[in-house]
Amino acid sequence: MELLNNNLSALLILFILGLRHGLDPDHITVIDNYTYRLYENKNTWSRWVGTLFTLGHGIMVTLIALILSYLKNNFQVPIWVDWVLNWLPMFLLLIIGIGNINSLIYSRKNNSLGLKKYLIPKFLDKKVSPITVFITGIIFGFIFDTSSQIAAFGLAISGTNHWLFSVIGGIVFSIGLIFTGTIDSYLLSKLLKTFDRTKIQKHRFKLNILITIMCFIIPIYKIATVFKPNMELSDLENNLIGLGFLGIILILYFDLYLRSKKQIK
């Protein structure tokens, strides 16, 4: 319990990174594509494509975080590595924030899978089923080519020397990832009945704005406390801010859910 209390702010950041990672264009592309195909085949699993894909992805992310933590704790690591691991997530959060602003302003719709598409076996793409969706998620978990996933690894293994935090951190990151993916495929499968995807796109836009704000607030706050330690918030204040942020996210999802139900009726 003490391990969690001392690292709640780090866990909040990991949850945010999970949400952000779930909004990556490659994830959205795969989830939407598989959802469409299963829906066309009248497969009831179409609504759970996001859950299956991100669950496989999350399991692999957690496993990699555990391996990295083991290597860090059982081998001599230079002091500068700890410093890099401590500040790298903050730097990458700023990069994510800047990238989000660029994406929000220009409304880029880059759904390219890049090199990842060459790593997916052809049989997984030809015959779509719940199992192939899960396996595809695991394959994606091997490749950490986005700032959000790299930042998550850095944070998960730098928060403490205890291996358990790496596991908990990986799980929290995965929860954010699964949350976004599940909502995406579930509501998309519902809205396919009305052929209206604008509601999901607007929801992603709002969520991206919220995440962008947090991507700037967190590193700026950390930098500020270095120069002015008295600005550091107490555990209670940090927890209240985290709960407030989580509450806003839940409201956004609940609002989207209510709107989709109205339209389907």
Contacts of 265 (CB under 8 A, 6+ apart): none
> Please, how many CA atoms are within 13 Å of residue 218, restricted to the half-sphere of its CB?
31
What pLDDT score does 53 carry?
92
Residue 138's pLDDT band, with cuts at 50, 70 and 90, is: confident
Which residue ranges make up each domain of the chain? 2-264
What pLDDT score does 51 carry?
94
What pLDDT score does 143 carry?
65
Between 65 and 117, where is the model more confident? 65
Alpha helices in the chain (DSSP H): 2-5, 8-22, 25-40, 49-74, 79-106, 116-119, 122-126, 130-142, 147-158, 163-191, 198-227, 235-264
pLDDT in tens, 143-195: 655 556 666 666 666 655 667 778 888 898 899 889 888 888 887 777 766 64
Rounded-to-integer distance, Cα 116 and Cα 145, Å: 10
pLDDT in tens, 220-235: 888 888 888 888 877 6
What pLDDT score does 152 carry?
65
Which tokens is 79 given? 């002091």
pLDDT in tens, 112-135: 444 455 455 555 556 778 898 998
What pLDDT score does 134 carry?
93
pLDDT at 70 over 60: yes
What pLDDT score does 52 carry?
94
Which of 2-16, 92-106, 113-127 has the largest mean confidence? 92-106
Q: State the average pLDDT for the chain.
A: 75
What pLDDT score does 41 carry?
81
Whole-angstrom distance between the N-terminal and C-terminal Cα of the chain?
45
How confident is the model over 45-53, as a mean pLDDT? Answer: 91
Q: Is residue 102 within 8 Å of residue 215, measured between CB atoms?
A: no
Q: Crossing angle for the helix pair 49-74 and 147-158, nearest 10 degrees?
A: 40
> ∠ CA(84), CA(161), CA(220), 5° rounding?
40
Rounded-to-integer distance, Cα 219 and Cα 88, Å: 10
Contacts of 56 (CB under 8 A, 6+ apart): 133, 134, 135, 136, 137, 138, 140, 141
Which tokens is 260 given? 């989709």
